[in-house]
Chains A and B, each alone.
Chain A
């Protein structure tokens, strides 16, 4: 009696095991970090340190995956989003990413922020064949599938954006005397290079002033005064938000009216244009790929409403004028799409393959007309931008969406 019972249990157990493993062999494939119930995603963010303002991106992504999990996860699997602080310090980034990979055993590293931090971890992740998905930096070098097949960018590169400004100027103001104010780091220098490349042979004759400032300077007023002395008629403002607002304000105070173009990073209505003064900001140009939540023209936009509902429910009290909320939402949505496309084949190779086969994907937060497209040789997901002009209290888009793809060297 006892024996037969044991036998029966054993037989049943064997049957169950054969059945489940057979099914798994048929279609489900997993690498470390993925299972029937969970997908582990790793991330590093500067929650502390000089770039801690960007920490909100990580919090938004965490909240987004919480929303996904509340809705039942992706293909029945919950997202386990593990995010660590790297303090914007490359050595710390290496330590935290190794912790994610070797201790937490994540499937992919998603949206790590900052050019220095990403450069520090790129070689390691590629050697380990772990996807470095949708990095949060606009440097051009992430679009390099040949040398770094496990690294893929997300936002348009700074150089391609600068390219678009140069093209615009060549067309509209070919005889302009151009002054460039840039931040003395990888960010500012990428813009500088993009502009020079865009002007091509005319760069030397058109660019009359190149003025750089350090991010540690409290005010850049003196630089503006210096630039004005050379009397250029175009001012390219390649700055981060705080300095963008200062520049627009100072030029107006000086009673100087050059044509001003400001970086997409600093085009926020809430955190740049308003503090600079709407009167002072009239006619300023920029380019955009995402919607500005503080811009009234999107008040009734269906997809941005989804974003609004998400922020209200999962990030109550968050400052909606912060561009990080829009950015994090868009990036997280792109990852969710990729994981959905992976189906039950959650191997790292397949995640990378799917990330490189996005076709006309439109996250809720991107401008109409801007689509995410990737391919085996195209690791720059967003490469379209549209020119915009500041009028009244909002940006007015004009012209076509322009593709500004820049090949890495």
Chain B
């Protein structure tokens, strides 16, 4: 049993005991977080707003992986490939076919869902580390596929494609960054609510049944093949939307943006945030965005090593990621209330 599987296995007692609470934040906490996300940009520099936008976008991508791994128990190191497809579809539609940016996102999502679903079919035969390897191959191949000659007239080949940033609509007096932030926030909230409801639904319970015991699940009448591929498709779809948003925020797509490093970062974000705990995805995203910067400010030459040490500390001190901290915090508050 791999380390990540252990995390899932150990975490599921909590999931079964109080399924709804374990998966999400309490209503009060959620409201506070949403209000903070709404207000903070009004008082910060554009650069911070941009970072927060990226946080939401990576958070979405980690969330997608969380549904796949935390929900249905399948591994993927290939999320960067779906992210790249989403980004390229949005960029190409916006730049070559003059499609409105907001419309490109559902298209990215649907197409990525299709790709993920199809990829999930053959991947069904694989499990655990073998599936991780297959998706790894997808991630490695993606930058080269994007460079293909016959696609070059649309993708710009190795040079990539510059994307125009949208202005705020309806004559709103708002900087492009701020508008994009609120737009991203709206999309993120919608997808987050969808994901929470998905995991609470019949399909979500089927995912978790497969995760916990595939044979038992199929004995109970769960269509294992369908739900496994469905989880893959949904995860890829959400990642695709995140990729599209990422392309608009960064204003540029190139094959080199979507290497295996991105896939590993997303995987890392999921583990740090807590496997199977959806709000943790955004904590994980914060980790993969800000911790490298912190590491760099400590030592430029050894930034990689410093990052490794910080990561090691996190895994050592809180092996279940942000979820563990949240649970401890909740217990503390509970105790305080009783006394």
Contacts and interface: CB of A to CB of B under 8 A. Distances in A.
A362 interface: no
Contact of B54 (A84, A88, A95, A115): A95
Given A120-B250, A185-B158, 14 more contacts: A47-B296, A47-B300, A47-B303, A83-B300, A85-B300, A91-B257, A95-B54, A119-B162, A120-B252, A123-B162, A123-B251, A123-B252, A139-B159, A184-B144
B83 to A, nearest CB: 11
A90 B162 contact: no
Contacts, number: 84
A168 interface: no
Nearest to A121: B252
A103 interface: yes
A189 interface: yes
Contacts of A123: 162, 251-252
A391 interface: no
Contacts of B303: 47-48, 85
B55 to A, nearest CB: 11
B261 A89 contact: yes
A88 B304 CA distance: 14
A48 B292 CA distance: 10
Interface in A90-118: 90-91, 94-95, 98-99, 101-103, 115-116
Contacts of A277: none
Interface of B: 45-47, 50-51, 54, 140, 144, 147, 157-160, 162, 246, 250-252, 254, 256-257, 259, 261-262, 289, 292, 296, 300-301, 303-304
Given A95-B54, A123-B251, A189-B158, A89 B47 contact: no
Nearest to B58: A91
A48 B162 contact: no
Interface of A: 47-50, 83-85, 87-91, 94-95, 98-99, 101-103, 115-116, 119-120, 122-124, 139, 184-186, 189, 214, 216
A120 B47 contact: no
Nearest to A185: B158
Contacts of A186: 158-159
A119 B300 contact: no
B252 A90 contact: yes
B180 to A, nearest CB: 13
Contact of B257 (A83, A102, A116): A116
B251 A124 contact: yes
B158 to A, nearest CB: 4
Given A85-B300, A123-B162, A185 B147 contact: yes
A123 B303 CA distance: 29
A189 B152 CA distance: 12
A352 B52 CA distance: 32
Given A95-B54, A120-B250, A184-B147, A87 B47 contact: no
A46 to B, nearest CB: 11
Given A91-B257, A98-B50, A103 B45 contact: yes
A102 B46 contact: yes
A186 B255 CA distance: 10
A136 to B, nearest CB: 15
Contact of B251 (A88, A94, A116): A94
B254 A116 contact: yes
27 contacts: A47-B303, A48-B303, A85-B303, A87-B292, A89-B256, A89-B257, A90-B160, A90-B252, A90-B256, A91-B54, A91-B257, A94-B252, A95-B289, A101-B47, A103-B47, A115-B159, A116-B252, A116-B254, A120-B160, A120-B251, A122-B162, A184-B144, A186-B158, A186-B159, A189-B158, A214-B144, A216-B140
A194 B158 CA distance: 16
Contacts of B257: 89-91, 116
Contacts of A122: 162
Nearest 4 Cβ contacts at the A-B interface: A102-B47, A120-B252, A186-B158, A116-B254
A341 to B, nearest CB: 30
Contact of B301 (A47, A98, A102, A115): A47
Contacts of B251: 94, 120, 123-124
A91 B47 contact: no
A103 B296 CA distance: 16
A158 B303 CA distance: 32
Contacts of A120: 160, 250-252, 254
Contacts of A91: 54, 246, 250, 252, 257
A124 to B, nearest CB: 7
A87 B45 contact: no
A85 B306 CA distance: 14
Nearest to A99: B47
